[in-house]
Structures are given as C-alpha cells and as structure tokens.
Chain A
Amino acid sequence: MQLTVFNGSPRGKKGNTKTLMDKFLDGFRKIAGNDAEVHYLNNREKRKQAARIFANSEAVIVAFPLYSDSTPGLVKEFIESLAPFKGRKGNPKLGFVVQSGFPEGIHTACVERYLEKLARRLRCPYIGTIRKGGVEGIQRKTEKANRPLYRDFETLGESFGRTGSFDPAIVERFKKPERLPRAIFPLFYIMMKFGIMDMGWNRLLKANDAFAKRLDRPFA
C-alpha cells in the first residue's frame, strides 16, 4: 500500500503528532511493499499543493493535535481545499489520528463525529479515527515511560499496513477513559490544592523567568 500522511500539527516536525506518526510508520513499513510519504501542513506552500496530492493518493491519513476541541485552523484550510473532490469517484481511503493534551476521550469525541461525516461528504472510504488523550507532555517523559504508547502506535501502523484498517482493540482502548472516574476527584482536588497539578507549568514558567507574571491580565 502507498500511504500519504498529512501532518496537521502547527508545530510541524517539532510536534508530538510527528513523534506518534513516526512510530506508526515504523510499523507500517514493516510490511513488504508498503511505502509512505509525509507532508507537513504547517508549511504554507505545502498546503497549496495538498489537495492535488490528496487526489492522487491511494490512502490518506490526516494526523493533528486537538485545538479548541476541533481541528487547528490550518487543517481546516486544508479540508476546505478538498471541496473540488467532494463526491468524486476514486477518492482515496481516508483516516485520521487526533491527539489531545487532556487525558479524557470526551474532548476528542465531537471532532471524530465531524471527521467521519467529512469522509462521507467527500465519499472517501472511511478508515476510522484514532484518538488519543494525554499526549502533551510526552516530550518531558522518559523514553521508558513513553514506550507502551510508542509500541501501540507501531502496532497500529503494522496492522494497518497489513489489513488496511485500524486495530479496533487499540482504537477503543485509546479513547478511554471517556471521563476521569469521579472517585479520583478527591485526589485531583488535593493535588490542585497543594499545587502539585501546577508544578510542571511552574517549572517551565520559572525556567523562563516568567513565574511572577504567571497570572498577568495584560488585556483586561
């Protein structure tokens, strides 16, 4: 299979979306005969060419971070450029990977409904949507801590490379938890109360000499 990946991260090659998709493609390329190319939509010139590349593809995966519970603006610009191919016969198979910072699946549930409808609107065979929460912060975790996540993405890529579909067991597991269980609220509250939740942010603020200004309201 020849796969085209559009990476819709505004951070481009420095983003977590690339980290996850690299693992996915490692798995995908394990299958003989498979090849993939990746295009970064944060490049304006590439965005202009993207619709034509899409139209000439066999299978497409659009991967992006969740922005304000939906697509980043530049991904929406790309989607709008596909309008001429709406309903065209022979459109590529289309799937999505959405990753979010917050851990719960509820944040990405709505955009999945949109993406599924989009595939129908374009009349693209719908591969599915992989949505994974809790991804922001992986760059500050150890390689060992990230290993299970990376292995899952490699497995997803490999099984997609073999079958042309996303492994339903992993897809289902990634969506969970839909919401954090109420039972952990006391712990959450204590962590909030004692600033444990804020420690990571405060460390970054201090490293930038910006801690004193953290609550600033410059546009009140």
Chain B
Amino acid sequence: MNHVTRDYDKDGAGALVNITILNGEKKGRSFATFMKDFEHGLARAGHGVTVFTIPDMRISYCTGCWDCWIKTPGVCALRDDTEKIYPVINRSELLIFASPLVMGFVNAETRKINERLIPLLLPYVDWYKGECHHFLRYGHSPKLGLIIQPEPDTDDEDIAIVEESYGRTALNFKSMLVFTALTTRPVTEALDAVNGL
C-alpha cells in the first residue's frame, strides 16, 4: 500500500474532488493491483471516488442512431447501464479513463464507453479553440485523466499518440487532459497528479 505524502489541507495545494473512474479492464493482475492501490490512495486522501468496471456492465457499442440528439434528447436509445454512469460523471470534477494498451491504444471496452458519452453533448456546433465542437448538454465537464498500462512493445510514440487522442477527447468535452499516468510507474505518481490539481 502506498501512502499519500502531502498534507493538502495545510499547504493549500490541490482540492478534494469527486472522481469517476471508467476502468476498461477486469483481467490482468498487475493492472488490477495498480488500480486498487490508486483507488485506495484517492479515498484515503479524502476524494469521493466512484469506479465503473466497464466489462462487468451491460453496455453496448454506440450504433450511431442519434436518438440521443434528435429523438430523446440526452437519453440513449440503448437504455443500458450507461445510465448509471452519466449522473455520476455530471457530479464529478475529474473523469479518469483507465486501460491497458492493446495493439497500441486503449482497449475496445474503453473506446466503447468513450463513444457512449455522446449524450452528454448537444448536436449544436460551436466554434471552440478554432475548431468545430459540440455544445455541452450539461454546461460543464469534468477534467480528464488517463491511466494506461504499456504493452511489452509500447514505445514513446505509442504513448504520445494515446495522449494526443485523449487531448482531443478533452477538447470535445471542452475540458483538458490533466495527467497521463503509466501503471509501470509508482502509484504515488498518479496520486500526486490528482492531488496536485
């Protein structure tokens, strides 16, 4: 078990926040161990943490039907377990995607929950940071964090690609990617990244 080494109340750095973790992997012992230590560390620091393990939930791929934009605004036609996730994200200040890299990118389960976040956006198009992006349905988004487990052949280029892609996801939600943590590094680094926000 790792220990949170800073006293955040005293030095005023960082703040306690509500955190949603979308975990795309349930197999793999080292990944699970890292995530458990990470979650415990966050809770011990006083953050409110909700973890969703996507492979354990009844969630389907987006079918691209757009009902959530033009038929039942904000409600996905698939009516599955994503409905448990949306309100929790909407009450969070930080949303963390956690996944092992598979074939150089976050896994399919993580992509699945990523694409199912579309009901959090409106269809209407805004000009944001010089690009077309959608307006936010709820008017706010949590900051984003990324935890990834490298593969044996992962190199710096792979990590840069994943990080850039989640920087784009952050743009889509008018948010920012505030940290990328690797599970091969000490869990305290990931905890410090959150606690330093």
Please list the residues of chain A having a beta carbon within 8 angstroms of any beta carbon in chain B. Answer: 9-11, 15, 42, 65, 67-74, 76-77, 79-80, 82-83, 86, 102-104, 106-107, 110-111, 113-114, 117-118, 121, 179-180, 182, 185, 188-189, 192, 197-198, 201, 204-205, 208, 210, 213-220
Contact = CB atoms under 8 A, between A and B. Distances in A.
Interface in B69-105: 69-75, 83, 86-87, 90, 102-105
A220 B107 CA distance: 28
Interface residues of B, number: 53
- Central interface residue in B70, B106, B112, by most chain A CB within 10 Å: B70
B130 A204 contact: no
A74 B64 contact: no
Contact of A213 (B73, B124, B169): B73
Contacts of B108: 73-74, 76-77, 80
A210 B70 CA distance: 7
B16 interface: no
Contact of A67 (B69, B106, B115, B122): B115
Given A70-B111, A102-B132, A216-B75, 8 more contacts: A68-B115, A72-B61, A83-B102, A117-B161, A180-B130, A192-B125, A198-B124, A219-B83
B124 A70 contact: no
Contacts of A180: 130-132
Interface in B147-167: 153, 157-158, 161, 164-165
Given A110-B165, A201-B124, A74 B74 contact: no
Nearest to B170: A69
14 contacts: A69-B168, A70-B114, A71-B105, A71-B111, A80-B103, A121-B153, A189-B127, A192-B127, A198-B124, A204-B66, A208-B70, A218-B74, A219-B83, A219-B87
Contact of B105 (A76, A83, A192, A210): A76
